[in-house]
A = this chain, B = another copy of it.
Amino acid sequence: MSIQPKTVREQVTNQIRDDLLSGRFEAGSMLREIELASRFGVSRGPVRDAFIQLSHEGYLAYYANRGVMVRHPPNPEDRKFITAIRQDIETHVVLKGASQVTEESLKVVEVALDRLKAACDAGKATVIALRDVEFHESVLIACGGDDMLGAWRQLCSRMLLTYTRHENYAQTYREHFEIFTPLADNDAKSTVAAIRANIR
């Protein structure tokens, strides 16, 4: 059921993203294609693709002929604003699409929830942050929010770099479980309420 990345580009992209989230690369430092290519044992092509992709996701800043730089996390003021926009987008999509959620897409959401639970049990913050976002993403997809996904991802990626809210991992899981339950019943209003309680 889980989606294993098949192409080298996806694997490289995911690996670099994980490294960025776990703070392996210092903010403001430059990343070199050759160095990462040799580390992963691939050519520069997929690494280059990953750089373009991660630049558009907001993790890296791209400078022509000079390479990419690790971006700094957003300041508290922007964080607050981004959170509000994110709430608005998820609310909009769920209100519009919760009634059309299919069995199949709901199953994907359930898998995402299980993975989040596993991460919470393990207690690794960076993994939880990833699974958290992936769960919300699956909800948006289930509600047919493909059109908003790009903008939404942009916002989330900026937030991920400073994922520090939860000290209580059990509560993290519970909050998301309470999003899933009403969604499974096609109850848009309750789903939205749970989402707004979770994103803050």
A54-94 Cβ-contact flags toward B at 8 Å (1 or 0): 00111000001100000000100110010011001100100
Instruction: Kindly state the separation between the CA atoms of A40 and B162 in the bound complex, as whole angstroms.
Output: 42
| Interface-side segment among A23-31, A102-110, A148-156 | A148-156
Candidates B49, B85, B89, B158; contact of A52 at CB < 8 Å: B49
Summarize A's interface: helix, strand, loop or mixed: helix
Find out whether the CB atom of A154 lies under 8 angstroms from the CB atom of B150: yes
Answer yes or no: A39 CB below 8 A from chain B CBs: no
Q: How many residues of A contact B (CB 8 A)?
A: 29
Candidates B53, B65, B147, B154; contact of A151 at CB < 8 Å: B154
Answer yes or no: A96 CB below 8 A from chain B CBs: yes
Find out whether the CB atom of A147 lies under 8 angstroms from the CB atom of B85: no
Residue numbers in B under 8 Å from A88 (CB-CB): 84-85, 88
Known: A64-B7, A151-B154. A92 touches B81 (CB 8 A): yes
Candidates B6, B53, B64, B96; contact of A6 at CB < 8 Å: B64
Residue numbers in B under 8 Å from A96 (CB-CB): 77
Instruction: Kindly state the separation between the CA atoms of A89 and B151 in the bound complex, as whole angstroms.
Output: 12
Instruction: Kindly state the separation between the CA atoms of A53 and B147 in the bound complex, as whole angstroms.
Output: 16
Instruction: Kindly state the separation between the CA atoms of A77 and B49 in the bound complex, as whole angstroms.
Output: 34
Closest chain B CB from A37 CB (angstroms): 15
Residue numbers in B under 8 Å from A158 (CB-CB): 147
A149-169 Cβ-contact flags toward B at 8 Å (1 or 0): 011001100100000000000
Find out whether the CB atom of A148 lies under 8 angstroms from the CB atom of B78: yes
Closest chain B CB from A45 CB (angstroms): 8
Find out whether the CB atom of B150 lies under 8 angstroms from the CB atom of A58: yes
A11-42 Cβ-contact flags toward B at 8 Å (1 or 0): 00000000000000000000000000000000
Q: List 11 A-B contacts (CB under 8 A).
A: A49-B49, A52-B56, A56-B56, A56-B57, A56-B150, A84-B88, A85-B85, A85-B89, A85-B151, A88-B88, A150-B154
